[in-house]
Amino acid sequence: MKPKHIGLGWVFMFIGAFSFLTGYNMLVRLELWELFTTFYTLERVQLQSFFLITIGLVTLVVGIILVAYGVFSRGKPVLEPY
């Protein structure tokens, strides 16, 4: 992996953090909404928020791995020439 791919890792981390925070915000608003109402017809919003949180965490971890691997492999050839 070339050091220029560190930028790709940062993009993944930004997208993952944004997705995670969006899902978490939806979940918090859902819990506040259920606190003031008595009907539970918001399972779809809850499912969407869990999906966003899961996708956000996975993307965030992939971005962290890309950045870490790009930083630690800087200056070393990834594939050895034959």
What band does 68 get if pLDDT is binned at 50, 70 and 90?
confident
Per-domain boundaries in the chain: 3-72
**Helices marked H in the chain — which ranges?**
6-36, 43-72
End-to-end C-alpha distance for the chain, whole angstroms = 18
Q: How far apart are CA 24 and CA 28, in angstroms?
A: 6
Q: What are the tens digits of pLDDT across the range 10-51?
A: 888 899 989 888 888 887 777 666 655 655 556 667 788 888
pTM reported for the whole predicted model:
0.68
Length of the chain as a residue count: 82
Q: How far apart are CA 7 and CA 70, in angstroms?
A: 9
